[in-house]
A and B are shown apart, each in its own frame.
Chain A
Amino acid sequence: MLIGILALVFALARLIPGDPCRAALGERATDEICEAYNERYGLNEPIYVQFGIYLNDIAHGDLGESFRFGVPVTELLVERLPTTIELSITALLIAVVVGVPLGIISGYRHNSKTDVATMIGANIGVAMPVFWLGLMLQYVFAVLLRDTPLALPPSGKLDAGLIPTPFYEVWGWPMNGFTEFLAKFTVMNALVTFQWEILSSAMLHLILPAVALATIPMAIIARMTRSSLLDVLGLDYVRTARAKGLAERTVVVRHALRNAMLPVVTVVGLSFGALLGGAILTETIFNLAGVGKTLFDAITSRDYTVVQGFTLVVAVGFVVVNLVVDMLYTYLDPRVRVS
């Protein structure tokens, strides 16, 4: 499985047409310079040797060096991954916090006005193109609502001029790759070091992209919660619980919801992949230097190693999340363990 992912990532990156040397050096690329360049980055070797080198490097935690920026890919990842993680987690939180209750209400009050409205909303939510929603949110909150308290910044990560102090400087921790990585989580970093101005600015900048990104998973979660709750409420054990005279609240919350949430967990996990895909669009629109935007820029400028490294990390992250969801599922649902 892992080898398959690695091979595909490698193949895709190498198949991108165009000469990386010319893409990286542009006008300056003469034949001699390119020769030296290819020599340096191992691009002269046969393709299977390149793949072998690639595998060996990966095993040593080396994702290569960006042709374009001249810095190791891992360094780029340290810098940009936190933005995407922060964005995705915020979006997922919004999606769950809004989607699950909506789904419960419309599942419980099946066919009521709330239900119909939620389901119409969910249908529209799934159908909305993320990039369009992002642009519309920008228009509404940065143009129409300008000069009102509801105005929100349309792009970037922080207000201009704000530079957060990394927590390791505040706490006197050593600066290394890992602490640097952690410090790039702007919201968390500001929170633990009490930089309130930065915190509020970072959170305000996060709202629009996160909402844009959250819409589709929110709609999917709401629908899943609803249909799952409906299924469970029709089961015999719920009728038994009601017949025992349990309070309606207990029946729904303690008995039905527990089982109804099982498929929802899966959906939440699967949404993560959609979030990562959507992050490419959202980050481009909101001008956030995260994994998605970097990856897209790298593809258009044929920065092989960055494409490989970032695609690999995203794919592995996706697989790991799915694995965790599977394990969580076994933990939550003992029936799976038995069978």
Chain B
Amino acid sequence: MSDPTVPPQPPDEGMPPTNVTDPMPAMAEAFAFEREDEIERAVGEGFAASGGDVSGHATGGLWRTAGRELLRKKSAVVGLVMLTVLVFLAVFAPVIAPYDPNEVLFSEGVAPRDAPCIHLLGCPDDQPQHILGIDGNGRDYFSRLVYGARVSLLAAFVAVTFAMVWGTIVGLIAGFFGGAADNVLMRLMDVLLSFPSLLLAIAIVSVLGPGLINAILAISVVTIPQYARIVRSSVLSIREQEFVAADRALGVGTWRLLWHRIFPNALTPLVVIATLGIATAVLEIASLSFLGLGVQPPTPEWGSMLAAERNQVFTAPHLVFFAGLMIMWNVLSFNLLGDGLRDALDPRLGR
């Protein structure tokens, strides 16, 4: 499962493995002691050909090339544009939404589940405009949809970040130390993986109790094994390479080695998996909310909005249609972007 996304990156490919990311030098400073700085310099000279991070001649090279490559892919650009629209909606929700998402508008003369009323399309001017109609509780549906973007994006992002951090830690430890740690941790991951993810998420939420935070937690826990496996297999392939051996011979500390030499190399596949993971998280949060286990009303969230109007699908289908469309939009944008990133970051494809 992990092989296609974990491209081996031999250091002699003109792609210095220690150089794949910008924030690393900063982190290096935070970690570095005086003595290790000297070591660093020595290592840097020793690896001039492949470029230590002190030489910096190719800093950000991979990411810049990847960015260019990404913009050349039509589907990735589409994904990027779709995502931008969504982020725009989320950030400027108060400006875009004509009403407060939780404001009940019965006093303005609307009925529950009113059909959309758009002035441009011949809706009489004396009626208030609600471009996507009114939901079952007399709230403006469009405003709720717009605010829903905030919940969906934020929840998915937090869930993936959390899973990635823990997955990375587990993967680094398991891969680098091997032995018993590896065995115990990876068996644990196997157990987590042997449940269908939605099922396990439901079970976890039912333990923690329904709610947005718990749903996020559940989805993170369920996806940790993916990240752990990716990081572990990257670590295993990098651990035995010469530049790591050289570092070790020079007495570089274990944690510094992990963070500085090994983690950056695992970052590329991680970014790809995380982008695709956000798409899955969006879908799963919506699913949990749909089942009443995630976001609770009245918070505007697409999944729970869909659940609320589910039985009205035969009479007011627009209330179901657009919420689902937004979920799909969100998932699609991250999927396209993730696929594009994978192609752009995969050195095997050559440029």
Q: Is B335 at the interface (CB under 8 A from chain A)?
A: yes
Q: Is the CB of B207 within 8 A of A135?
A: no
Q: Is the CB of A8 within 8 A of B197?
A: no
Q: Is the CB of A127 within 8 A of B331?
A: yes
Please judge, given known A-B contacts A123-B335, A132-B306, whether A8 and B191 are in contact too, CB under 8 Å.
Answer: yes
Q: Is B204 at the interface (CB under 8 A from chain A)?
A: yes
Query: Quick one: which of B165-206 are within 8 Å of A by CB?
Result: 187-188, 190-192, 194-199, 202-204, 206
Closest A residue by C-beta to B75:
A123
Total count of chain B residues near the partner, CB < 8 A: 43
Partner of B313, one of A13, A135, A278: A135
Q: What mask results when residues 317 to 335 of chain A are scored 1 for a CB within 8 Å of chain B, else 0?
A: 0110010000000000000
How far is A13 from B206 in the complex, measured between Cα atoms in Å?
9
Q: Is the CB of B207 within 8 A of A1?
A: no
Query: Quick one: which of B260-306 are within 8 Å of A by CB?
Result: 279, 283, 286-287, 290-292, 303, 306
Query: Quick one: which of A118-135 are within 8 Å of B by CB?
Result: 123-124, 126-133, 135
B residues near A5, Cβ cutoff 8 Å = 191, 194-195
Partner of A138, one of B303, B306, B313, B327: B313
Instruction: Tell me how far the C-beta of A140 lies from the nearest C-beta in chain B, rounded to whole angstroms.
Output: 9
Q: Is the CB of A135 within 8 A of B310?
A: yes
Instruction: Tell me how far the C-beta of B105 lies from the nearest C-beta in chain A, rounded to whole angstroms.
Output: 25
Please judge, given known A-B contacts A135-B306, A139-B314, A281-B291, whether A311 and B324 are in contact too, CB under 8 Å.
Answer: no
B residues near A138, Cβ cutoff 8 Å = 313-314
Instruction: Tell me how far the C-beta of B302 lies from the nearest C-beta in chain A, rounded to whole angstroms.
Output: 9
Q: Is B43 at the interface (CB under 8 A from chain A)?
A: no
Please judge, given known A-B contacts A12-B203, A12-B204, A123-B335, whether A135 and B196 are in contact too, CB under 8 Å.
Answer: no
- Chain A: number of interface residues, binned into ranges: 35 or more
Please judge, given known A-B contacts A123-B335, A319-B194, whether A280 and B202 are in contact too, CB under 8 Å.
Answer: yes
How far is A131 from B194 in the complex, measured between Cα atoms in Å?
23
Q: Is the CB of A295 within 8 A of B199?
A: yes
Q: Which of B26-34, B235-243, B248-256, B315-323 contacts A (4 or more CB under 8 A)?
A: B315-323
A residues near B196, Cβ cutoff 8 Å = 273-274, 276-277, 314-315, 318
How far is A318 from B199 in the complex, measured between Cα atoms in Å?
11
Instruction: Tell me how far the C-beta of B152 lies from the nearest C-beta in chain A, rounded to whole angstroms.
Output: 11
Q: Is the CB of A132 within 8 A of B317?
A: no
Instruction: Tell me how far the C-beta of B208 lies from the nearest C-beta in chain A, rounded to whole angstroms.
Output: 8
List 21 A-B pairs, Cβ < 8 Å. A4-B187, A4-B190, A128-B324, A129-B287, A129-B303, A131-B287, A132-B328, A135-B320, A136-B313, A136-B320, A138-B313, A270-B1, A273-B197, A280-B202, A299-B203, A300-B206, A311-B203, A314-B199, A318-B194, A318-B196, A322-B194
Which 5 residue pairs spanning A and B have beta carbons closest together?
A132-B324, A277-B198, A4-B191, A127-B331, A277-B196
Known: A12-B203, A127-B283, A129-B303. 17 other contacts (CB 8 A): A4-B187, A12-B206, A13-B203, A15-B207, A16-B206, A17-B209, A124-B328, A127-B329, A128-B324, A132-B327, A136-B320, A277-B199, A299-B206, A307-B203, A311-B199, A314-B195, A314-B196
Binding site for A on B (CB under 8 A): 1, 75, 187-188, 190-192, 194-199, 202-204, 206-207, 209, 279, 283, 286-287, 290-292, 303, 306, 310, 313-314, 317, 320-321, 323-324, 327-329, 331-332, 335-336
